[in-house]
Structure 1
């Protein structure tokens, strides 16, 4: 059950009723005598005291993060502590109390030093929680290769903010004016503030609903016009944040300037036994190859690649082949979750 004392509007209705204050339809105040206004003031003061106490508790909890040690406050001066606590209690947003505590801890550990200390204290008191979240998202986009909603590129530090309305654009422009962004990139000062205010878990891509691309590409090679299957494989890997390259076995001798994952994927779509296996092996050297056979060429391939995995997919549907291949590559690269 919620405590009405924590909700200003509910509390206001209750106080108004006790004080005999008239209300307009919809809850607007109409009249109030001296005693009623005094009661409202006293209750408001009590509520502010309760909120200040909660903020102070959260401030202290986030300084020590469950562990009280001398190191946490080794570099924290009385002036810095007072400025942070005062800013915390005076801030319009309850959500920011934790960030004041975390910044205090970062200063105490010596992670924020010199003139940056006072600058970041002032900045924290002057930016909104929404702006802090903007900096957090930009920081994650800067440090990680995030998969966008479409395409094979990466999410940049400003695109991730999705600045759609005038308020958001104004908040971003204000951060630019505070030297948090320069040329649409997060500055070191901004990164320092983010590192101080957010935990390691809060600075992971998953914390803001994103995933990282696999650092390596999956090389898809094919010998016939199996474009529907190749497209399905490309889309299947993309869904799991894995970029791909695709090329015909006829051009396998051309150098590919990419960092490929293991195994390579070889789609064997020809009805006759493939004749290119010797050349393929010479070109790929000792790279592991996952063969996907649309016709039964298992014994022929094993003669040249005795240690490779061969999927005999004759008669399989394209979605079935795609799921099997993607899961195999994910497992080989430690990406398949164990259930």
Structure 2
């Protein structure tokens, strides 16, 4: 204990102490060896003592929070972060961050303060914004920060909505909040800090920068919020039979593709009278009944529309009379019965995905 106190005293007398704190000095005082090891209990003991300037802020209830702040600042993935050790942090910013962290009523935000400290160390936060970000982080709630992160994820990714083939938008998360609700009050608070652009119903550039400064990469991935992401693949589904059973199969196809993050555009046989290729489609499914014949012009147009894209044909064969010569074109085929098509649809979609994965051209417009 006395040795830790003496080391702290020596740093406080260092000529650079009033304006700059070297992150490596923090690590040394915390008991981290040059080889990256940690002296047992040293980090915790250092966290309790801290620098002389912050001793007044330390109370019994703050021990765990201070420890977590320094741990998140200095470590990544259970190991000392050598990059952060090489950095520096202004004395004023360091103590402002730690003071804000200690006086914050929400323990959940401790890691966010450490993330903000790291962002400042790495020069990711402009100097004139540092104080604003520190004060803003202290003023907003954990739910507010979570809201900003969710909007950021929706903005940066193509999120699958509960219904429809579009993507979830930031506007959907920001609009239609009941007057006086906690959601509306949150949006008002975040807007006042410049983090939300109300005219466009989206995060402002300042808001994006703030969220990224206070978050680790793992905080900004869709799965954190239970979101699924469109893969970027778009399937053209050609239905060459207008029966009710074919429509039921189409519904199964669309549902299965959606579960795999693949968008689906549907065309009926009449579309084969035109050569209007969907330039965004990356793959295709062709659904038709056993014995189906096409006019020569439509057959040629189908060949043109499919191009070189990965394609699987779904043959509805209620009579179980499989006849390869009657298939409309060569290629992978899944044969189904309209009464129980689930397994065949799963097989067809898996065939399609396998083709996409092994054919680089599937990622290009065909």
Q: Is the 8 A contact 2:249 2:338 kept in 1?
A: no
Find the partner of 2:62 among 52, 62, 69. 52
What is the DSSP-based 3-state SS (H/G/I as helix, E as strand, rest coil) of the residue aligned with 2:342? helix
Partner residue of 1:5?
none
Q: Is the 8 A contact 2:144 2:186 kept in 1?
A: yes
Q: Distance in 2 between matches of 1:68 and 1:234?
A: 46
TM value normalised by structure 2? 0.71
Find the partner of 1:230 among 221, 246, 250. 250
Name the CA shift for 1:159/1:314 in 2 (closer, same or farther; >3 Å).
closer
What is the DSSP-based 3-state SS (H/G/I as helix, E as strand, rest coil) of the residue aligned with 2:216? coil
Q: Distance in 2 between matches of 1:282 and 1:97?
A: 59
1:244-270: CA deviation from partner (whole Å, max 9, x where unpaired):
1111233133414441123x1011225
Partner residue of 1:205?
222
Partner residue of 2:139?
126
Name the CA shift for 1:72/1:147 in 2 (closer, same or farther; >3 Å).
farther
Find the partner of 1:192 among 200, 205, 209. 209
Partner residue of 2:117?
104
1:264-309: CA deviation from partner (whole Å, max 9, x where unpaired):
101122534555544422343333321111233423448x52xx21
Q: Is the 8 A contact 2:68 2:110 kept in 1?
A: yes
Matches within 5 A, 1:1-339: 49-65=59-75, 66-69=79-82, 71-72=84-85, 74-160=87-173, 163=177, 166-182=181-197, 183=199, 184-225=201-242, 226-252=246-272, 253-262=274-283, 264-274=284-294, 276-295=298-317, 296-301=322-327, 304-305=329-330, 308-314=331-337, 317-334=340-357
Q: Distance in 1 between matches of 2:85 and 2:153?
A: 26
Q: Is the 8 A contact 2:291 2:326 kept in 1?
A: no
Q: Is the 8 A contact 2:234 2:280 kept in 1?
A: yes
What is the DSSP-based 3-state SS (H/G/I as helix, E as strand, rest coil) of the residue aligned with 2:59? helix
Q: Is the 8 A contact 1:72 1:109 kept in 2?
A: no
Deviation at 1:334, TM superposition (A): 4.7
Q: Distance in 1 between matches of 2:337 and 2:281?
A: 27
Q: Distance in 2 between matches of 1:272 and 1:153?
A: 33
1:147-176: CA deviation from partner (whole Å, max 9, x where unpaired):
111112211224336846712211111111
Deviation at 1:327, TM superposition (A): 2.7
Name the CA shift for 1:89/1:144 in 2 (closer, same or farther; >3 Å).
same
Q: Is the 8 A contact 1:75 1:110 kept in 2?
A: no
Aligned-residue RMSD, C-alpha: 2.5
Q: Distance in 1 between matches of 2:165 and 2:334?
A: 27
1:181-209: CA deviation from partner (whole Å, max 9, x where unpaired):
01211012211121122221221100110
Q: Is the 8 A contact 1:222 1:249 kept in 2?
A: yes
Q: Distance in 2 between matches of 1:159 and 1:146?
A: 12
Count of residues in correspondence between the two structures: 284
